[in-house]
Structure formats: structure tokens, C-alpha cells
Structure 1
Amino acid sequence: MSLYATIWDGSSWATSGGRYKVDYKYAPYVAEFTDLALRGCAAGRPACEEPESAAAAGAPAMSPAQRLAMEAFRARYRTYGYCYDRLRYPAPLPECSVGAEAAAFLPSGDARASSPRRHGKRHRPRAGGADSAL
């Protein structure tokens, strides 16, 4: 089975007009759904992979520019890919199409970081703090 989901920061519009911001230090997040209905196909079925079948099912289509933006976002922020986790899954799973993107992942499935990722502000120690008395 394969499911693709995107989480958008709704801080500016979903929380009383931006009154409450998302605090990412509490991640990972859990989402619960009631009466969730998903339409899908078994992995490896060519008829389900064709864009025409998605359009016929009423699924919205992405423009080429939207797809490029999504792929750039994934490349920058994805930290793990189970399709590339050779320690846990020695043989590729049926829904995984492992291609050139595999070079961006370690055998553990963790993304190879091209540069250190820093989030938030960096704080300097205060002068005259507890360490300065030593």
C-alpha cells in the first residue's frame, strides 16, 4: 500500500486567523480521522498509475510546476524514506520504485544531509553566567 500526504502549516489561516502558531518542537504529530475514505490501487497495477484513471476518478491534477515544487520540497525536508531502508527491508517493497533518488539515502533509510539543518534561533550564552565564574 502507498499513501502520499502533505502537511501544510495552517498557522496563518486555521488558528483564529493566525492567532496561534504551530510549535514544531512538539513534533511528530498524530492525526486522527473519522469516516476517512481513501480510493487506491494495488501496487504494480499499470491501469492505476495512469493519469487518465486518476482524472476519471475525480482526483485533482497537478501541473508540472506544482509537481516540481513538491519534489523540491520533498528533497529539502524529507529525513527518512522507508523505500530506501535496506536494514529493515532488504528487498524492495512492491510499492517502491527505487531509482536515482536512492543515492540521497543511507542504508538505514535516513536522508544524507547535504548541509546541517538548523531550525529556530541560535542562542549565545550570556556573559556573566554560571560558567563564567569558573
Structure 2
Amino acid sequence: MQVVSSLWNGEEWATEGGKAKINWTNAPFKAHFQGFSESGCHGDSPHICGSSIYWWNNGRYVGLSVSDRKSYENARVKCMNYVYCSDQTRFSVRPEECQWNQ
């Protein structure tokens, strides 16, 4: 199994310009990495990042098995409380990267 993630602190923009501080002790998960290595591409070139030249866009990495999809949906329902791609109050035009959120 593979984990793909983006790690960032959105406190400055996601909480009214930092007015409401994030209480990180209430995070829904803890992540521990062991034997970690990373691969990536620059986010300013999403069309290139989706290219078949990258190993993660080929074969078994482009989708989830039925079992993995079920686990993913379970975690999403239990843990996700904000989806900025669905925030029409904040974004009158849907952010470009949200086209990949299917």
C-alpha cells in the first residue's frame, strides 16, 4: 500500500487569517514514517505532474482496490470535516486543482 499526501499548515488562510488558532492536539491522526523516501514534482506544473513519465501515474498506483476504497471512504466519513473544493462561499470559482478531486 502507498500513502500519498500533502503536508502543510493552513492556519493563516483557513482560520480567518490566523484569528482562530488551530489546536493541533485535536488532530484526527498521528503519522509516523519509517524508512521514508519521497518522489515528487513541482505543483506549479500540474499537467506535467500527471504525465506518465512519473511512476505514480502508472498501473497499480492510479487507483484503489475495492478493499482500499472502502477503507478510504470510512476514514473520509469519520475524519474529514472541511473540503475547500466544496466551499462556494469562499470560492465563487472552484479552485483549478479541484478538478483532480474525484
- Normalising by the smaller structure, the TM-score range is 0.3 to 0.5
Report the TM-score, using the length of structure 2 for normalisation. 0.43
Answer 1 or 2: which has greater helix percent. Answer: 2
Name the larger-Rg structure. Answer: 1
